[in-house]
Amino acid sequence: MIQTRDPEPVGRVVATELKPATPHQFHFWTANETTIGIGAIVRVAEPGKQPGKEEGERVVYGVVTDGLAYSDLATPLHDVVGAEGDPAKAAESPTIRQEIRLWTAAVLRQHPEEPLQPVPLGAVYVATDADVAQALRMDAYVAGTQPTGIPVGLYTAAGLEAPVYLDADFLLGPEAAHLNISGVSGLATKTSAVEFLLASIFQHFPAHKGRIAALCFNVKGPDLCFLDRPGALDDADRRRYERLGITPQPFERVRYYAPFKADGVNLNTLRTHPDLVGDVEPLVWGLAEVLDFAEVLLNRDDIDAKADAFIDFLSDRVLNKEFDDGFGGSHRVQSFADLDGLFRAIFDGLELSGRSDMWRTHHIATIRKVRNRLSNISTRCKGLVTDDGPSHDLPWGRFEDRTVYVVDVANVDPLGQDLVFARAVSKLREHLERRDLGVDAVVVFVDELNKYAPGDGPETYVRKMLLDISERGRYLGLVLFGAEQFRSQVHRRVVGNAGTTLFGRMDADELATPGYHVLSPAVKIKLATLPIGELMLRHPHFTQPIFVRFPRPAVLRGRDGVERFPPGADLPFEEAVVRQLVRLDRRIRPNQVKDLIAERRPDDVRRALAAVRRTRPDDALAYFRRMLGARVAPAAAPAREAVPPLNPISEEPY
C-alpha cells in the first residue's frame, strides 16, 4: 500500500496543550516559502521511521483547512516603538523577525484505521498522486475488476496535478446519488462544470452499470444550445483532459427539443441558425398531456378537492371518449378547442335551463376556475401547448445510450416551464419504474433550483417532484444534477439528499449562513475568491471537502455559440412551413407548398404539418396534401341566440 520513496519533508507536526494533535485534526509548521496552501493534501509519517519503508507504520493523510502566520513580536506596540512610529522605518529593520507558518489540517484518512489514534508528531510530506488516491479512499473504486471511478477534476496543489474520481455508485446510484452545485452567477462556472462532468460520465460510466442518458433543461439564454459543437480549448485544458483520461470532444449525440413560438411554426429557441435548426425537434403538447399534469397549473389558492375532482372527471370520463353533456349535445374531446366547446355547452345549457348552479355534482364556479386555468395555459404557452393539434413529445421508451436530450424552455412562460419540467420528469420516472425508457439511468440537470425548489414559499408541484427525485430517484436511476446560486435558500431535503456537492465561487453573505459553519474561515475565504474552473467538492468517500480544478468543457459555450451561429430571424408563416417540409423531404419545391397552403387557415396548416412531422412519410408533400384535406368555403357564422340570465337574484324588476 505504501510506496517506496525518499521525499523531503515540507513540515513537521507540532502539538501543544492548547493546540493538541487529535484523531481528526493536527497542526504543522513549514518554511515561510512553501507550496502548501489551503486545500493542500499532506501526508504525515510516524516519527523515527523511514517514510514508506517500514510495514505497519502509521500514516495520516490530511487536508489543510487553515493557516496562521505570526512573528515573535510580543505586542503590536513593540513594533511601533521599534520603528519610532514611522511605518517606513519598520521595513528598514536590519533583521526580519522570526516568523512561523502554522497550518491546521483535517484528517482525511489514517492507516491503519484501527486503533484510531491522535496524529503522530512526525514529518509532513506533500501528497503524491498515490497519496491523493489513498487519502480520498479512491483506491477502493478506481482499481479492481469493476472500477466505478468518474473523473471529476484535478487536485492541484503544491505543484501536483492528481486526478480525483467520484464513485459512480455514489454519484449515479444506487448507494447514493444526485449532485448539487452552487455558486454566484457568472463566476462559479456551474453550467460548465456540469457539461464537463456529463462528458466524463458518458466516457467513464462503467459498462456493467448499463446505459445512461441525460436530460437537460435549458432555462436561460443559449447555455445548453451548442453541446454538439466543439469549443475552444487551450494547451492547459488539453493537458488536464489527458491527465483525467477524457477525450476532449463535444457530445456525439445530442437531441434538441424546443416549443414553437406563438405562430406555431417558428421554434422558440436560440438554436435557429439555418445550419443548426434542422436538429431541433418541436416540443408540442396537446390537451391530454396537459391534463395529466393540471395540478401544476393550480396555485395554492386553487388547490381544493373540488377542482381536483373535476379535473379527474375530465380525464377519466371525457377525454377521448364520446361524451353526452346532458343538454343533448355529444362531444369527443381531444383538444383544447374541443374542451372549450364542451365548457361552452355546459354554461349555455345551465343558463338556458336555469335549473341549478351544479352540473354533474360539480359547481359552476369550480368548472369556471378549471376552464380558466386550462385556457390560461393554452394562451400563455401558445406554441408549447397546441390548441387543437397532435402532440410531439420526447422519445419516451426510445432513449439512447450516452445521449443528451436538451429541452429548451428558456423563452417559455414560467408556468409552461413548470409544466414541461413536471411532465418530463414524471414521464422519466414512469418509464424508469417500468424499466422501458431505453436506458438504465438518466441524469436530469436542473438549473435555478432557487426558483424551482426554494426552501420557503408555497408548496408547488415542481418542488414536490424534485423532493421525490431527491429522495427516491437513486433507486430508479433517476439522478438529479441541480444548480443554484444560494444553496441556503434551496429546500433542505433537495440539497441534503445530494450525495455529491460542488461549490464554485460563493457570495460572502451566503457563506455567512449556518450551513457553512463547518468550514473554516480560511476555506470560506478561498471559496469567496475561487478562480473560474476551480470547485470545492464533497463526496461520500471524502471525509473533508477537496478543491479540484476542471478543464473547460469541450463544447461551444452558449454565448460563443450565438456569436458563431447567430439565431435566424423568424420566417413568415409560409416560409416556415416550406422550410419544415423541405427538411423532411428535400424533393419538395417551395412553390408547391405555397400553392397548397394559400388561403388555408393557419390552424389547418399547422395540424397537417404536425401530422407529417409525426408520421415522417416517404412522400411528405402528398401526405401533407392529404392531411390538409379539400379546400372548404368558410361557413357563415351562426346567429347568436339571446341567453337569459342565469339564476336571477330576485324577481323584482328593479
Partner 1 sequence: MAGSWVDAILAAGAVPASYVPDASAGRTDLDEFTGADLVEDAELRTRSVADARPLSPGAVGFLDGIEQWRVVGYGGVTPIVRGYVAAAVRRRGPDRRLCTTSEQSRELAVTRLASLAAPVRRALETCGVDVVEFAAEEAGQPARAIEAARRELERARLALERALAERCLAQLGPDEWLVVDGVLSDSVALSAHPRAVGVIKSHGAQYFEGAELERALTLPAGHRTSVFEPRSRGARRAIYSWYLRFWPWEGNDLLYGLVRVEARAHADTLARASAMSAWLLRERSPLSTPDARWDRLLYPIHDVETYLRSRAPNDLLSHHASRLPRTGS
Single residue of 3, 50, 98, 376 touching partner 1 by CB under 8 A: 98
| 83 touching partner 1, by CB under 8 A | yes
82: contact with partner 1 by CB under 8 A = yes
Shortest reach from residue 123's CB to partner 1, in Å: 18
Directed axis angle between helix 364-380 and helix 336-353, to 10°? 150
- Cell numbers given for 86: 514611522
What one-letter code names the amino acid at 612?
A: V
- Least spacing, CB of residue 120 vs partner 1, in Å: 19
Stretch binding partner 1 (CB under 8 A), from 81-89, 182-190, 239-247, 358-366: 81-89
If one asks whether residue 81 binds partner 1 (CB under 8 A), the answer comes out as yes
Q: Is 147 left (phi over 0), alpha (psi -120 to 50) or beta?
A: beta
Least distance from partner 1 to the Cβ atom of residue 77, Å: 9
Q: Please, what is the minimum distance in Å from the beta carbon of residue 83 to partner 1?
A: 6
Q: Is 467 in the site for partner 1 (CB under 8 A)?
A: no
Binding to partner 1 (CB under 8 A) within 296-315 occurs at none
Torsion of CA 347, 351, 354, 357, to 10 degrees: 40
CB contact burial 56-81 (16+ within 10 A = b; e otherwise): ebbbbbbbbbbbeeeeeeeeeeeeee
Q: Is 31 in the site for partner 1 (CB under 8 A)?
A: no
Report the half-sphere exposure of 510 (CA within 13 A, side-chain side). Answer: 19
The Cα angle at residue 598 between residues 595 and 601, in degrees rounded to 5: 140
Cα 524 to Cα 392: distance, rounded to the nearest angstrom:
47
1, 68, 69, 90: which one binds partner 1 (CB under 8 A): 90
Kindly tell me which residue out of 18, 88, 96, 633 binds partner 1, with binding defined by CB under 8 A: 96
Q: Rule CB under 8 A: choose which of 12, 14, 66, 79 binds partner 1.
A: 79
**Strand 212-218 and strand 11-14: pairing?**
unpaired
Stretch touching partner 1 by CB under 8 A, among 83-91, 199-207, 303-311, 595-603: 83-91
Cα atoms in the 13 Å half-sphere on the side-chain side of 59? 22
**Which residues in 120-139 contact partner 1 (CB under 8 A)?**
none
* From 91-99, 288-296, 335-343, 473-481, span contacting partner 1 (CB under 8 A): 91-99
Q: Counting contacts by CB under 8 A, is residue 74 touching partner 1?
A: yes
Residue from 72, 459, 651, 652 binding partner 1 (CB under 8 A): 72
Closest distance of CB 18 from partner 1, Å: 15
> Considering the rule CB under 8 A, would residue 78 count as an interface residue with partner 1?
yes
133 is written with which cell numbers? 488516491
Q: Which of 87, 94, 115, 653 binds partner 1 (CB under 8 A)?
A: 94
Contacting range for partner 1; rule: CB under 8 A; set: 96-104, 308-316, 438-446, 550-558: 96-104
CB 14 to partner 1: min, Å: 12
Q: How far is the CB of 119 from partner 1 (least distance, A)?
A: 21
CA-CA distance, 266 to 545, in Å (whole number)?
A: 47
Instruction: Report how far residue 173's alpha carbon sits from residue 418's, in angstroms, rounded to the nearest whole number.
Output: 26
DSSP 409-435: -TTS-HHHHHHHHHHHHHHHHHHHHHT
Q: How many other C-beta atoms can be found within 10 angstroms of the C-beta atom of residue 531?
A: 10
In this structure, are residues 603 and 388 in contact, taking their beta carbons and an 8 Å threshold? yes
C-beta atoms surrounding 99 within 10 Å: 12
Q: Got the DSSP string for 207-234?
A: GGG--EEEEEEE-STTTTTTTTSBPP--
In terms of CB distance, is 22 or 98 closer to partner 1?
Answer: 98
Task: State the amino acid at position 618 in one-letter form.
Answer: D
232 touches partner 1 (CB under 8 A): no
| Stretch binding partner 1 (CB under 8 A), from 41-49, 69-77, 377-385, 406-414 | 69-77
Q: Measured between alpha carbons, how far is residue 505 from residues 197, 486, 532, 535 in Å?
A: 18, 11, 8, 8
Cell, residue 393: 413529445
Taking CB under 8 A as the criterion, the residue among 1, 68, 69, 73 binding partner 1 is 73
Selected binder of partner 1 within 16, 95, 591, 650 (CB under 8 A): 95
Nearer to partner 1, 95 or 145 (CB): 95
Beta bridge partners of 164: 153
Q: What is the DSSP letter of 328?
A: S
User: Which stretch, 68-76, 282-290, 425-433, 568-576, contacts partner 1 (CB under 8 A)?
Assistant: 68-76
Per-residue interface string for the shown chain with partner 1, residues 597-626, x marking contact by CB under 8 A: ------------------------------
- Least distance in angstroms from the C-beta of 25 to partner 1: 24
Minimum CB separation of residue 183 from partner 1 in Å reads 40
Q: Considering CB under 8 A, how many residues would be counted as binding partner 1?
A: 19
Nearer to partner 1, 69 or 512 (CB): 69
Nearer to partner 1, 14 or 288 (CB): 14
Q: Which stretch binds partner 1 (CB under 8 A): 88-96, 287-295, 348-356, 517-525?
A: 88-96
SS (H, E, C) 239-257: HHHHHHCCCCCCCCCEEEE
Q: Which residues bind partner 1 (CB under 8 A)?
A: 72-75, 78-79, 81-84, 89-90, 92-98
